């Protein structure tokens, strides 16, 4: 599986509405489909450096390996989200990102702008409805998840939680276990700060380790 590539730009070309680059990496030539915006920048020498770095989505088929390249990880991840929708293929995904920015697509999804989505070649009414419905639920989930993790009003506690997560990760506790106890730790931090005035990073770390060790030992029984 290829995740990203760093190499020398050898050639670029257009086939119908598909845009490609050939990149040389350690003597191997990789043919990668890219977005039109990057193609135009490369063609007009807006990117003077011949060395190019792309985030890659590798799609393996029975008779071929297809590589799709993006200049940012956000573009790649959004492309993957689009491909997760039933019936939506790679060329539809590239068509959406060729025509609109990520923020424009998100806004169209939130406002249910079917006309805008249908303006992408290959997208009809049924596919537009499916894209809006499924992507909207994914966007709502991401927003709710973000609120759960980061919506802490007190900046002191917020910073402490971030440091706590990093410290627990360095102590080899699993991310899933750490996230499960965060709501408990946030409540405890608030109580220690307001009632006992005994809020400290050391106290929270001991509390977190006690919770995690007890949870792990209970699972092992």
Hey, what are 56's tokens?
């890659």
3-state secondary structure of 63: coil
Four-CA torsion 193, 198, 202, 203, nearest 10 degrees: -90
CATH numeric code, 4-71:
2.40.50.140
Q: Which residues contact 167 (CB under 8 A, 6 or more apart)?
A: 205
Intra-chain end-to-end CA distance of the chain, in Å: 39
Render each residue's pLDDT in the chain as its tens digit; 221 residues: 788 899 999 999 999 999 999 999 999 999 999 999 999 988 887 665 688 889 999 998 888 889 999 988 889 999 999 999 888 999 999 999 999 988 889 889 989 999 999 999 999 999 999 999 888 877 765 555 544 444 556 677 777 888 888 888 878 888 888 888 888 888 777 776 665 566 778 888 888 888 887 765 444 44
Top CATH class of 74-149 equals: mainly alpha
């Amino acid at each position: 599986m290829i995740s990203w590539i760093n190499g020398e730009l050898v050639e670029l070309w257009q086939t119908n509405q598909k845009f490609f680059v050939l990149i040389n990496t350690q003597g191997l030539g990789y043919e990668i489909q890219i977005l039109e915006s990057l193609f135009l920048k490369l063609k007009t020498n807006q990117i003077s450096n011949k060395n190019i770095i792309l985030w890659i989505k590798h799609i393996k088929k029975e008779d071929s390996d297809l590589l799709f390249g993006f200049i940012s990880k956000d573009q790649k991840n959004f492309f993957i989200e689009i491909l997760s929708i039933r019936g939506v293929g790679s060329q539809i995904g590239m068509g959406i990102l060729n025509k609109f920015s990520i923020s424009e697509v998100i806004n169209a999804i939130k406002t249910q702008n079917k006309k805008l989505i249908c303006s992408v070649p290959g997208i009809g009414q049924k596919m537009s409805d499916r894209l809006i419905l499924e992507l909207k639920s994914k966007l709502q989930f991401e927003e709710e998840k973000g609120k759960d993790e980061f919506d802490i009003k007190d900046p002191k506690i917020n910073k402490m939680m971030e440091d706590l997560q990093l410290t627990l990760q360095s102590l080899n506790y699993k991310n899933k276990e750490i996230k499960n106890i965060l709501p408990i730790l946030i409540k405890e931090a608030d109580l220690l700060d307001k009632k006992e005035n005994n809020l400290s990073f050391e106290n929270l770390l001991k509390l977190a380790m006690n919770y995690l060790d007890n949870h792990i030992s209970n699972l092992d029984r």
